[in-house]
Amino acid sequence: MQKEDYKTAAQYYTDVIKINPVLIEAYENRACCYEKLGENELAEKDNEMVELLREEERNIKNNHISKKGAS
């Protein structure tokens, strides 16, 4: 892919994130685009968001399992 393609893809992922701000894959893919563009700080922010969302997802699953076991 050419640099311009990564810019376009990053913008598409930004649009997706505006619609669904908890879609982990959009942050992961946009981070990859940013890395290809040499935008390491932006890539790092997206990677941090991925970790935050994954942690949140784990907490939700764990709470659901805990409540299920308590009933």
pLDDT, tens only, 13-70: 999 999 999 999 999 999 999 999 999 999 999 999 999 999 999 988 887 666 666 6
Full-model pTM? 0.84
pLDDT, tens only, 25-37: 999 999 999 999 9
| Domains defined along the chain, listed by start | 3-70 (1.25.40.10)
**Predicted pLDDT of residue 31:** 98
* CA dihedral sign of residues 43, 48, 52, 55: positive
| C-alpha to C-alpha distance for 33 and 7, rounded to whole angstroms | 7
